[in-house]
Structure 1
Amino acid sequence: MSGRYGLAELAQTLIEHGPRKALETSRRIRAIHNHITVVDTTKAVFVWEHDNFPTIYVPSVDIRNGKLADKQNISVELKERAAISQLIVPAHDVLEEKRVDGVLRFFPDVTLGPLSGLVRIDFRSIDQWLEEDEPIFVHAKDPFKRVDILRSERPIEVKVGGKTIAKTESSMHLLETSLPTRYYLPLASVDQTVLRKSNLKTKCPYKGEAEYYHVVVDGKTHENLVWYYNHPTHESGAIAKLLCFYNEKVDIILDGELQERPKTKFA
């Protein structure tokens, strides 16, 4: 949820029913905005507002180089429990003052359980979040989600429109919780004549920033069919510069068997 009314509704739901789950973390979490650190804490809490992934909440006492200005108090059962706030980052050096809207502050109150004294700052409103010294992309990583990358020498072949455009005896299989296995192939194993550079870039909290290729076969362009990570996150370093095709949109023959195309939102 976002926006003033969305935040108020979120706060009321969390206060009345609690989060789906909350987990304290000892990892150092920092938020950098307007070229200055505005959050630095080792007492962040991962809060699941929904089932998909956690949101980072930080203690209000760990707001640095800025101040919170409450805009609207939120009452539940006739008691003020939280406030929609604004983070004000003062001018420094030659940089002007910046204001971050969409901040939710929970008052210190033992009845709020794990939310007591915490602040929710919209992830997208901050220039850069760090987990220890590693950048966080898109949203906080789910500590219960796992990514495994396994080397495989099972032969793999990729066909588009009935034509083989990639074939290799060695690939990396990436297994990510709740997603189909992705097969990452060496660039040299892919027919270079069918690849066309795309301008699309996407980010994944577990793998980093992806770039894309279109694939052209028999005059037909299949847009953004292939992606790769030039500089993946540390834990996904084994797939650096390898190419991956959407299983949902191509025919993949693994160890002589045609794989069923998975049904996902990418199909």
Structure 2
Amino acid sequence: MRHPEPDPIEAGQESVWDYPRPPRVERVVKRLTIELGGETIIDTDDVVRVLETSHPPVYYVPVADFAEGALRPGGGSSFCEFKGAARYFDVYGGDERRPRAAWAYPTPTPGFEVLADRVAVYPAPMDRCTLEGIDVQPQPGRFYGGWITPDIVGPFKGAPGSSGW
């Protein structure tokens, strides 16, 4: 299936259609926060992102930067052809629990070693996720964990009809 035409880009924006496949991982200078259950469970500027064609960036932050008890082992696992075997975490904040709402690659494949000891969080089940104080919108669909901000342009994988991209 042919991918759709990329949305127009304005100054200061990136198109997900300019991201590579296989994906690229890069360090960024941005403050990232996540709130759940009335608590800030992470507030850090130690951030890396993974960029892959048709996907909004996925942000990875150090496990050690999460609030005490915010991450607990969750059920299941998955495999990425590029990054390797993933494990899941349940995310806790206040009196709230979000099962399998975060994931990590404890032993990433070559080229993705920077992801070791880092975790990515699905923004949809969280109360609020921000980058540089800007609210994040979740990537469409239930499988992907991309973070959409006004500087990222699609269309994005995960929307209805995009499974063949």
Contact 2:72 2:91 in 1 (8 A): yes
Map residues 127-142 of structure 1 onto 2, 5 A cutoff.
Answer: none
Task: Determine whether 1:264 maps to 2:141.
Answer: yes
TM-score, structure 1 as length reference: 0.44
Following TM superposition, the consecutive aligned residue runs of length 4 or more in structure 1 with deviations greater than 6 angstroms are none
Match of 2:119? 243
1:190 to 2:31 alignment: no
Alignment of 1:131-170 (within 5 A): 145-170=21-46
Q: List runs of 5+ in structure 1 lacking aligned partners.
A: 1-49, 53-143
Q: Identify which of 84, 95, 98 aligns with 1:219.
A: 95
The total of aligned residue pairs comes to 127
Worse overlay, 154-163 or 205-214: 154-163
- C-alpha displacement of 1:193: 1.4
Q: Which has the larger helix fraction?
A: 1
Aligned counterparts of 1:161 and 1:178: Cα–Cα separation in 2 = 31
Matched, 1:173 2:49: yes
SS in 2 for 1:234: coil
What code does the residue aligned with 1:167 have? D
Higher strand share: 1
Q: In structure 1, what is the Cα distance between the partners aligned to 2:82 and 2:61? A: 19
The equivalent residue for 2:154 is none
Pairing partner for 1:203 from 79, 87, 91: 79
- Whichever residue aligns with residue 132 of structure 2, its letter is D
Contact 2:75 2:100 in 1 (8 A): no
Paired letter, 1:176: E
Q: Say if 2:32 and 2:44, in contact at 8 Å, map to a contact too.
A: yes
Contiguous gaps of at least 5 residues in structure 2: 4-19, 145-165
Aligned partner of 1:252 in structure 2 is 129
Contact 1:248/1:266 (8 A) holds in 2: no
Secondary structure at the counterpart of residue 50 of structure 2: strand
More contact order relative to length (CA 8 Å, sep ≥ 6)? 2
Residue type of the alignment partner of 1:247? P
| Identity score, percent | 25
2: distance between equivalents of 1:172 and 1:234?
16
**For residues 180 and 247 of structure 1, do their structure 2 counterparts lie closer, same or farther at Cα, with a shift above 3 Å needed?**
farther
The 1:265/1:193 distance shift into structure 2, 3 A limit, reads closer
What is the CA-CA distance between 1:51 and the residue it aligns to? Answer: 6.8
| Matched AA of 1:157 | T
Code of the residue aligned with 1:163 in structure 2: it is E
- Structure showing greater radius of gyration is 1
SS in 2 for 1:158: strand
Classify the secondary structure of the residue corresponding to 2:69.
helix
Q: CA RMSD in A?
A: 2.1
